[in-house]
Structure 1
């Protein structure tokens, strides 16, 4: 039973995960190294809850109790008594491995260590801990309060008990589980990110404009947004990081990142979060 959970990283994904956990009655310790990011996350969660209340998805009177279940900290040691810790930091392997090494020495024995990684192998992450049977992938979709899917990824050593506790938590959050084997990109990003990369190639090779590529995919395949709009929403740096994981993991040229995508990231054109990507915001 997960009664108290730590969330590491107070960015868009981490704050969303904290939001849904607290909304379902779970005590949350939200960790980040930046005090300003923690303040931004708390403010954002409260605004999102108020938005839910206006839509009739939540009673306004419940908001103070939900917010009261979220505690913020800049000290990882404050996660010591959590039943589960969910890492949701930047998609950089070295950083994640460092965090899991530290977590393993801090969080109580028997607690589950989960990663919200969208592409990095769980077995590799688990190997730096002394509890690989308690390590699992728990990939939430963005925006977390809205999206109904969580990819659950078992590492080579993940126990049946850890898997059962994790899928039970997903159900408690009112979401659906999709189970993936532990290979780069898992299910969603193994399919999605190469599509975005191919859209970038179509632009790079002069096949069509940004607008026509997105229009073609929206109206031609009934997607809610075109792949280049979606790339800007995800962040071009994140898209490139996942393509690199796929390319390195499978050693297959079909996963080669588009040179245009690489150049845009080098230029700092990362999408919505920087005001410029395939579109200008």
Structure 2
């Protein structure tokens, strides 16, 4: 029999895993409202093998006990001592910010206490780190390993220090996301969708906060603010208001999202506006990686596409690169030879801007420099047909500046595709104060027809993804000022603990250290916010010629090797 004490976010997560594994379970919580809420959810699971009670003595026959009460030293110590009076079973504490050896000694039976370290409440197939102490008996250590295996969890090695660093980085990012929502820069669902698809994350930040428990996140931020003095950890006012009102996330059924008895959530209704300017034909301006990727996507989706480059050699090289990309897609089974041939047949190279004159949509994907983009939009304003939509793919520059240069600002939108465009689904769709409804809905419908997910962004530096991502990356670089920071261990903790596809240092190498520094500088110049300030150590690396993966010199690359 498995015992669980504490049915908050973590305790309920373990209860569900143990139920799915076929365990008999006795779960204890002293809050009758919590017992009633969890009991109601168990009805949806048809969980007749679970006993819920407020009596700790009910754990006397347990073979292993998971202690998941709030992370408060006095409370955990009292619970562990009381458990020692009730049962001699191994006790696995879920302490995250407290010392497991301290708790083990305070329990009065240190040989039977070990830790379970995780950064996100565990779900099916999730990760957890067994954390025995030097005092843990072999029998207790074996019980930890057996339980992890039985619950279908993946054991990992993270370490207390890297786990704390990963938590600090991620919690500041989550807090910043709440402030971003509160400021009205984007909707809840657009923030979550942007960060999930734009960064390949398992959860958007607001959904992750609900999963962690808003009270838990608030307590962690408060602790980090007290320990470091860093204002980025001061809980956002909206987060505090939600906690004060008892809306604590998934465990209470309401937080940033609302949840049903099975933990499911509904998203905002999709935008369903009439399309004022349907798009059939497309022009893409540029011949670089982004321009080629977008042209490949539009041609594959069935749109006749002209690719306009500065010279015939560049245009031909761009088409050859697209053909190579489509060939790789055929090899991987993502497309067919017939679809590849049809897409290439829809592509036309050009070197004269007059080639865009009959296009429904013109997508500018040239250098990320307003001194290049503005003159181009000034010409597009006279060359493009009257009802054409004009789009810029800028990732951090002003869409309004491009719109004003065109002389027809109502026709201009931002369409920030993510690289590689054929693979990544997200498009940040930016409207300025002057963008017309029919131009915006036309661009939105066009992106949806490409199989993309769009999020609506204000014309604000960094839009959603870069504005929230780069302070996190800068904070990671800031950790290197402290002796003993392990780059690889920090990346591993973020990956294994929070499920990110890569840690911050590997991500910086992938983006390119020079590109990341340039984005940081633009964000800081335009937003003037302290958290956007470029990381000095990053500037030093770029000055030394370290650019990341592209030249084999970076945080996680050396001599061209990962």
Q: Do these two structures clear the TM 0.5 threshold for a shared fold by scoring above it?
A: yes
**Cα drift, residue 207 of structure 1:** 5.3
> Matched residues in 2 for 1:236 and 1:74: separation?
32
**Cα drift, residue 203 of structure 1:** 2.9
> Matched residues in 2 for 1:41 and 1:231: separation?
27
> Matched residues in 2 for 1:96 and 1:210: separation?
38
User: Which shows bigger deviation, 93-102 or 199-208?
Assistant: 199-208
| Correspondences of 1:114-263 after superposition (within 5 Å) | 114-206=391-483, 208-263=485-540
**Cα drift, residue 168 of structure 1:** 0.6
User: Which shows bigger deviation, 246-255 or 169-178?
Assistant: 246-255
- After TM superposition, the runs of 4+ consecutive aligned structure 1 residues lying more than 6 A away are none
Unmatched tracts of structure 1, length 5 or more: none
Any conservation in 2 of the 1:91–1:238 contact (CA below 8 Å)?
no
Note closer, same or farther for the CA distance 1:236–1:33 as it changes in structure 2 (3 Å cut).
farther
User: Which shows bigger deviation, 182-191 or 97-106?
Assistant: 97-106
Counterpart secondary structure, 1:89: coil
**Cα drift, residue 236 of structure 1:** 2.3
**Cα drift, residue 98 of structure 1:** 2.4
Note closer, same or farther for the CA distance 1:263–1:73 as it changes in structure 2 (3 Å cut).
farther
Counterpart secondary structure, 1:139: strand
Note closer, same or farther for the CA distance 1:21–1:244 as it changes in structure 2 (3 Å cut).
same
Note closer, same or farther for the CA distance 1:155–1:50 as it changes in structure 2 (3 Å cut).
same
Any conservation in 1 of the 2:381–2:407 contact (CA below 8 Å)?
yes
Larger Rg: 2
Any conservation in 2 of the 1:197–1:257 contact (CA below 8 Å)?
yes
Note closer, same or farther for the CA distance 1:195–1:81 as it changes in structure 2 (3 Å cut).
same
**Cα drift, residue 37 of structure 1:** 4.0
User: Which shows bigger deviation, 97-106 or 170-179?
Assistant: 97-106
CA deviations on 1:148-195 (whole Å, 9 max, x unpaired) are 111101011001001110011011101111111121111111111222
Note closer, same or farther for the CA distance 1:161–1:217 as it changes in structure 2 (3 Å cut).
same
**Cα drift, residue 70 of structure 1:** 1.1
Residue of structure 2 aligned with 1:27, choices 289, 304, 309: 304
**Cα drift, residue 275 of structure 1:** 3.7
**Cα drift, residue 263 of structure 1:** 2.7
Any conservation in 2 of the 1:116–1:138 contact (CA below 8 Å)?
yes
Note closer, same or farther for the CA distance 1:225–1:65 as it changes in structure 2 (3 Å cut).
same
- Equivalent position of 1:64 in the other structure: 341
The CA RMSD measured in Å over matched residues stands at 1.9
**Cα drift, residue 130 of structure 1:** 1.0
Note closer, same or farther for the CA distance 1:127–1:190 as it changes in structure 2 (3 Å cut).
same
CA deviations on 1:41-67 (whole Å, 9 max, x unpaired) are 322322222222233332212212211
User: Which shows bigger deviation, 133-142 or 6-15?
Assistant: 6-15
**Cα drift, residue 230 of structure 1:** 1.8
Higher relative contact order (CA 8 A, sep 6+): 1
> Matched residues in 2 for 1:206 and 1:29: separation?
54
- Equivalent position of 1:13 in the other structure: 290
User: Which shows bigger deviation, 168-177 or 94-103?
Assistant: 94-103
> Matched residues in 2 for 1:54 and 1:60: separation?
9
> Matched residues in 2 for 1:138 and 1:105: separation?
21
> Matched residues in 1 for 2:444 and 2:453: separation?
9
> Matched residues in 2 for 1:211 and 1:24: separation?
40
> Matched residues in 2 for 1:13 and 1:128: separation?
22
